[in-house]
Each structure stands twice: as structure tokens, then as C-alpha cells.
DNA sequence: GGTATTTTTGACATAATATTCCAAAATTCC
DNA sequence: GGAATTTTGGAATATTATGTCAAAAATACC
């Protein structure tokens, strides 16, 4: 049972503003949510300490960094004993190319988002990173051809 | 043909540091990459103006915000005429619950990441947002049951 | 291999911003 | 409706960002 921090409409405005522009100054943020700087900063710190805000990050052009290929990988395990599952999930956390790993409903057990520099690099990833884990039943690879939309901004809350 | 900004090892250290902690001060950043503040800030601004860094964002606990359900939706169009494709992609950009929409290789044409408040809300999303678009051949829904890993930090570059 | 040119760096001064404190205002609870 | 609690806004101070410029480093050229 985790505590439920009380979030109100102003907090949501703060969150959405920072999802759009995570490094805006407290003065800009305060103006945007119609507060003066001090209560705005206090609310922000509360959200951070609450666990509502878990961190900040920069958005990077993956190609410019040298990782132009994004791959979505759906993986099923061939058995679901605790040791197989734990081993797999520990490996996921440890592999740097795996940026996201979700447990899914539906046909596949896991959905991974993986970044690599080229096709050859992805082959290496499957051969040297995935296969050695063991217990994997199937791997279904889909490459990202294009990005239609990518945003961090949540929809306005319809309370 | 897009220009390729020249990124070196220090720039990549800056990027990785900010992917971990996107709101660190320039002083902290400079210390982390072993530069003094002024060249560090100049490099950062260059990365921003280059297009290597495209923005900043806050990481939010979706449940605390009121959107506890994340859905991955794979969608195929029933035909691929220009008007059907354009209409679909324009709608994707306009629907606030769709945070990501990728064009994919493989069986499905698109992969969406959608956030909603509950199952009923997702039903509404499919009925009122997706179906009215038209031209959709198949919708395959998978719910995110758990998050094994979620990071923004790219792997160290193996140049 | 050495010199000239270009680029990058680091220190300092100034401007902008964050942070803290406290009294006033607003809200909530009986 | 009044008391207690919470939230707010303004002012003072500390911290940080920004711009300038000379020195150092890297690069190119001969």
C-alpha cells in the first residue's frame, strides 16, 4: 500500500508545464501557473519529495548521439519459474542498450525498447546479450521506421 | 540531407549526465565532465542549438497524476493510400492520450503508447478516438502490467 | 618539426534566479 | 461564524547563469 499524495489542479499545471519544458526557471513556471515564485517552488519541491515527480531528463536526438536505430522487441519466456523470470529481469536492468522493459498482457511477456547503432549492432545484441540469458521462448523484432509523435505531456486531467 | 553536428566524448558525457539528472546546475555538470563552468555551458548551448538536444522534461509518476493505465496499441491500416495514412497520422498527433506513435516494420504498421485512467477510459479511447478515424484494419491491445526498467540514459558510445 | 591559425578553455564581473523567512490572506473544520 | 490550519506573496540573501577576454591547447600548414 503506497501513500497517495494529494495532487490538485495547480500541481497538474506545474507537471504539464515541466513535461513540456523541464528546465524552465521557477519564475517562468510561477507565471505560467499563476502563482508567485515562492509557493510555486514549494509545490514543486513537495511533488519531488512526494514521489509524484521522480526526476528530470534531457531529450536527445538519438541519431546525433550515434544511436540511429530503435528496435521494439517482444519476448516470451519458455517457462515462468521464478528463477527464469528473475534472471531475465535482472539482465534487462543490466543491459545498457535496453532503455525500457515492460511486462505485458497479451501474447508476449515483455516489450523492450532497444537502441543500437546499426543492424549489425542489433545482431550482436541478440546473440551476445539476449541468447545467453536462457529461458527465452521467442523473440519478435520490429524496427522503428519513423516517429509520428513523441511527447511527455500528459493529457489534461478530467477529474 | 541534414547536417551532422560533430559530437565528441565530452558532449556525450554532458548528454548522459543530463539524461540521468536533467535539472542539475551548470556548476554540477561542469564538475562531472571535468570542465570549468563557462566552456561547459557553451557546449551545452551548442548541443541545444545543434539539434542534438531537443528539449528537457520531467519524469512523472503516472499513477500520482491520475493516469495509472498504460496501453501499447498495435494498429494496421486496411489500405495505405496517402489520404488514409495522412489522416491517421494527423489524428495521432492531435489525440492527447497518445504519447507516442511509431511507424514500425513487421506485422503492424504503428505502435502507440497510450495513457488512460482505467479500462473504461480505454474503451472510450478506442470507440471515440480511434474508430472514427476510419481506415483502420486491426487493433491489437496490450496493457502494461509492470515496469522492469525505464531509463533515458543512452549506453556509452562505442566509437 | 616548427610556426601560424583556429579553437577551446578558465577566471572574473555582472545579471538573473533560487531559496529562506515571515506576516497576511485564504481555506478548512468544528 | 469563529478558530485552527494551510497556503500565499514580498523582501533579503545565497546561489547560479551569463558574457567578456586573455591564455592555453589543438590543428593546420609549410
The proportion of chain A whose per-residue pLDDT surpasses 90, expressed as a percent, equals 92
Q: Is the CB of A35 under 7 A from strand D?
A: yes
Does B111 fall in a domain?
yes
Does B148 fall in a domain?
no
Judge if A33 and A73 occupy the same domain: no
Distance CA A67, CA B108 (A): 23
Q: How far is CA A152 from CA A24, A41, A97, A101, A102, in A?
A: 15, 21, 21, 18, 18
Query: Structural domain tally of chain A?
Result: 2
Q: Do B142 and A53 touch (CB under 8 A)?
A: no
Does A71 fall in a domain?
yes
Residue A106 pLDDT grade (very low, low, confident, very high; cuts 50, 70, 90): confident
Judge if A130 and A72 occupy the same domain: yes
DSSP label at residue A61 = -
Q: Gap from A5 CA to C29 C1', in Å?
A: 21
pLDDT digits (tens, 9 = 90+) for A75-104: 999 999 999 999 999 999 999 999 999 999
Task: Write out chain A residues lying below 8 Å of B58, CB-based.
Answer: 15, 18-19, 22, 53, 55-56, 152
Distance CA A35, CA A31 (A): 6
What is the SS3 string spanning B84-102?
HHHHHHHHHHHCCCEEEEE
Q: What residue is closest to C18 (Cα–C1')? A: A26
Look over chain A and give the mean of its residue pLDDT values, rounded to a whole number: 94
Does A133 fall in a domain?
yes
Q: Whose grid coordinates read 548528454?
A: B15
Judge if A66 and A44 occupy the same domain: no
Judge if A99 and A120 occupy the same domain: yes
Judge if A19 and A92 occupy the same domain: no
Domain of A39?
A: 9-50
Dig out the grid coordinates for B106 from the structure: 513487421
**In sequence order, what are the beta bridge partners of B119?**
none
Residue A108 pLDDT grade (very low, low, confident, very high; cuts 50, 70, 90): confident
Mutation site, B49, B64, B92, interface A, largest A CB count within 10 A: B64
Does B133 fall in a domain?
yes
Judge if A138 and A67 occupy the same domain: yes
Q: Do A60 and B53 touch (CB under 8 A)?
A: yes
Judge if B139 and B67 occupy the same domain: yes
Nearest to B61 among A22, A54, A141 (CB): A54
Q: Do A57 and B144 touch (CB under 8 A)?
A: no
How far does CA A31 lie from the centroid of its chain?
A: 29
Judge if A77 and A41 occupy the same domain: no
pLDDT digits (tens, 9 = 90+) for A6-22: 799 999 999 999 999 99
Domain CATH for B33: 1.10.10.10
Say if residue B38 is exposed, middle or buried (CB neighbours under 10 Å; 0-12, 13-18, 19+). Answer: exposed
The proportion of chain A whose per-residue pLDDT surpasses 70, expressed as a percent, equals 97
Q: What residue is closest to D7 (Cα–C1')? A: A39
Does B115 fall in a domain?
yes
Q: Please, where are the H alpha helices in B21-131? A: 26-33, 37-50, 62-65, 82-94, 119-124
Predicted pLDDT of residue A41: 97
pLDDT digits (tens, 9 = 90+) for A55-70: 999 999 999 999 999 9
Does B35 fall in a domain?
yes
Judge if B37 and B105 occupy the same domain: no
Distance CA B51, CA B5 (A): 8
pLDDT digits (tens, 9 = 90+) for B9-52: 999 999 999 999 999 999 999 999 999 999 999 999 999 999 99
Judge if A66 and A138 occupy the same domain: yes
Q: Which positions ≥6 away from B128 have C-beta within 8 Å?
A: none
Residue B100 confidence (pLDDT) above 60 = yes
Q: Hey, which bits of A43-151 come out as E strands?
A: 53-60, 69-77, 98-104, 110-116, 136-150
* Smallest Cα distance from B148 to chain A, Å: 5
Distance CA B114, CA B112 (A): 6
Q: Please, where are the H alpha helices in chain A? A: 9-20, 26-32, 37-50, 62-65, 82-94, 119-124
B106 Cβ under 8 Å from any chain A Cβ: yes
pLDDT digits (tens, 9 = 90+) for B123-153: 999 999 999 999 999 999 999 999 999 999 9
Does A96 fall in a domain?
yes
Residue A4 pLDDT grade (very low, low, confident, very high; cuts 50, 70, 90): very low
Give the residue from A14, A19, A3, A4 showing the smallest Cα distance to A42: A14
Judge if A29 and A78 occupy the same domain: no
Distance CA A58, CA B11 (A): 13
Residue B4 confidence (pLDDT) above 90 = no
Predicted pLDDT of residue A112: 98
To 10 degrees, what angle do helices A37-50 and A9-20 make?
A: 90
Across residues B76-105, what is the average pLDDT? Answer: 97
Judge if B25 and B91 occupy the same domain: no
B19 to chain A: nearest residue by CA? A57
Domain CATH for A79: 3.30.70.920
Predicted pLDDT of residue B2: 41
Mutation site, B44, B58, B71, B133, interface A, largest A CB count within 10 A: B58
Amino acid at each position: 500500500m503506497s501513500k497517495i499524495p494529494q495532487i490538485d489542479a495547480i500541481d497538474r499545471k506545474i507537471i504539464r508545464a515541466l513535461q513540456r519544458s523541464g528546465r524552465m526557471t521557477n519564475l517562468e513556471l510561477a507565471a505560467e501557473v499563476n502563482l508567485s515564485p515562492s509557493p510555486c517552488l514549494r509545490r514543486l519541491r513537495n511533488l519531488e519529495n512526494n514521489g509524484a515527480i521522480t526526476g528530470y531528463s534531457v531529450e536527445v536526438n538519438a541519431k546525433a548521439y550515434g544511436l540511429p536505430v530503435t528496435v521494439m522487441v517482444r519476448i516470451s519466456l519458455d517457462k515462468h519459474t521464478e528463477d527464469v523470470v528473475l534472471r531475465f529481469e535482472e539482465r534487462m536492468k543490466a543491459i545498457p542498450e535496453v532503455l525500457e522493459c515492460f511486462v505485458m498482457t497479451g501474447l508476449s511477456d515483455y516489450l523492450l525498447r532497444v537502441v543500437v547503432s546499426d543492424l549489425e549492432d542489433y545482431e550482436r545484441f541478440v546473440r551476445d546479450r539476449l541468447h545467453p540469458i536462457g529461458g527465452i521462448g521467442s523473440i519478435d523484432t520490429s524496427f522503428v521506421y519513423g516517429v509520428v509523435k513523441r511527447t511527455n505531456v500528459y493529457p489534461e486531467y478530467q477529474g
